[in-house]
Copies of this chain bind each other. A is one copy, B any other.
Amino acid sequence: MTSASDLPTADDERLAILRRGLESGSVQQAGRMLNALQPAEIAHILESLPLGQREILWNLVDPEHDGEVLLYVTDDVRDGLIRTMDPAEIVAATAGLDIDDLADLLADLPAAITQEVVTSLDQQRRERLEIALSYPEDSAGGLMSTDTVTVRPEVTLDVVMRYLRRFKEGLPQITDNLIVVGRDGRYLGVLFLTDLLTHDPEDSVAEAMSLDVAPIRASWSAREVATRFEQHDLISAPVVDDDGRLLGRITVDDVMDVIREEAEHQFMGHAGLSEEEDMFAPVLLSARRRAVWLGINLLTAFLAAWVIGRFEDTIEKVVALAVLMPVVASMGGIAGTQTLTLAIRGLALGQLHMDNARWLLGKELAVSVINGIVWAVVVGVIAQLWFGNLDIALIIAAAITINLVAAAFSGAVLPLLLKRLGIDPALAGGVILTTVTDVVGFLAFLGLATIFLL
């Protein structure tokens, strides 16, 4: 009987207790607590720990959980954990894994160990591994698992139920339907377990099955699969080849991972980080990765500096320009980032295409003209009050309007352009946009000043 006191607490509380236990040195107790958890929970705790503590805890994890835990941590953390294991441990960790999970893991193992793992498989598992490895990781084929339970359309539900009772070890995880296939292996429909249970046992599978679940082609991208799952509230869906023959099925837990990774890619990408970044990565590794992004951005900063350098004489004569110029660049950067963010999201959700892009561009330009004028007036008035110079006020007002329009244009056009060029907009969009708004901002402001003030 569940009483109030043994109701579950949220995971966070449990993790905090465990972390404190570890810090106070009660290692054995921490190990017992840890191994009572799900692999995903163990993975979450490992990711929340700094490197030293993470290694201690990883050694406490029951070897039979090792493989599954490795599946749940991000790539970066996984690399670190694998590096602490010897080859025999790694091979042992892969032993109990599903073939599709094993395929994902193999990509991150050292080549020598991959070979050992493959050799350790029996004939049937090796063949299924080859199929799994033949699809890109981010395609439907790469997401699918091959452990399906199939039935024929002509048998009765009663026969199906007797058949299922032979699965003494249980059905595959997340089975909400049985897949109905013809004699030639072609996909025909699904028999939901709920329909199996509510229909007359004398009905045939063909009578009770659902035709609503359209099969997914193995060649679809992971993103298309995710959209399909979200729009149809699917739990699992069959995967077919180009001839409609059943290859496997995809389950919602893998789709949730796709959605999370996609979203994180966008969020982390705008700061030049990978979604697989480990918060507690070694200092030198982090420093090296960050340095690349700082270097790229330094190029754009020096490009902006070079533009300012063209106007040294002007600035020397009117120092107020140096004081105000960051305002022009910054307003453009902010406005452009808003448009860019909206467009990148639209692209990721499949709502922005070439054929509605001109609508977005038109709207964003209109918004930028309105905000350009509004903020031009505000900034102009402030500049006038501060420096008592109407010319400077008018020039900064004009420059801000110009920069906001340029920002809207770049923000709306860049993502589609980059995508067409095969460049990832989530990663490159922000840098390029800032370059545009910095250069246009300084050029417009200092250029107009040179023309009208000198």
Contacts and interface: CB of A to CB of B under 8 A. Distances in A.
Contacts of A199: 165
A338 interface: yes
A250 to B, nearest CB: 13
Contact of A375 (B7, B49, B298): B298
Contacts of A272: 334, 338
Interface string A43-57: 010011110000000
B283 A301 contact: no
Contact of A273 (B10, B198, B342): B342
A380 to B, nearest CB: 12
B197 A359 contact: no
B367 A286 contact: yes
Contacts of A284: 370
A96 interface: no
A371 B287 contact: yes
A161 B329 CA distance: 69
B193 A47 contact: no
Nearest to A271: B341
Interface string A343-357: 101100111110110
Given A200-B165, A350-B11, A363-B280, A41 B231 contact: yes
Nearest to A375: B294
Nearest to A172: B194
B290 A242 contact: no
A309 to B, nearest CB: 5
A334 B293 contact: yes
The majority secondary structure among interface residues of chain A is: helix
A353 B16 CA distance: 9
A366 interface: yes
B353 A279 contact: no
A107 interface: no
A301 B280 contact: no
A176 B234 CA distance: 12
A343 B267 CA distance: 12
A176 B1 contact: no
A47 B229 CA distance: 18
Contacts of A122: none
B290 A338 contact: yes
A256 interface: yes
Given A287-B370, A298-B327, A375-B298, A280 B11 contact: no
Nearest to A169: B198
A420 interface: no
A240 B227 CA distance: 31
A187 interface: yes
A195 interface: yes
Given A305-B323, A322-B322, A375-B294, A47 B351 contact: yes
11 contacts: A16-B353, A164-B197, A230-B253, A230-B260, A279-B360, A283-B366, A286-B367, A294-B331, A295-B378, A302-B382, A322-B325
Given A40-B232, A271-B337, A305-B327, 17 more contacts: A1-B182, A12-B350, A164-B198, A165-B198, A170-B194, A171-B197, A256-B256, A270-B270, A271-B341, A271-B342, A279-B351, A279-B352, A280-B360, A283-B367, A297-B334, A308-B326, A315-B322
Interface of A: 1-4, 7-8, 10-12, 15-16, 19-20, 38, 40-41, 44, 47-50, 161, 164-165, 167-168, 170-171, 173-176, 182, 186-188, 193-200, 214-217, 220, 224, 227-233, 235, 240, 242-244, 252-253, 255-256, 259-260, 263-264, 266-268, 270-273, 277, 279-281, 283-284, 286-287, 290-291, 293-295, 297-298, 300-302, 304-305, 308-309, 312, 315-316, 319-320, 322-327, 329-331, 334-335, 337-338, 340-343, 345-346, 349-353, 355-356, 359-360, 363, 366-367, 370-371, 374-375, 378-379, 382, 386, 438
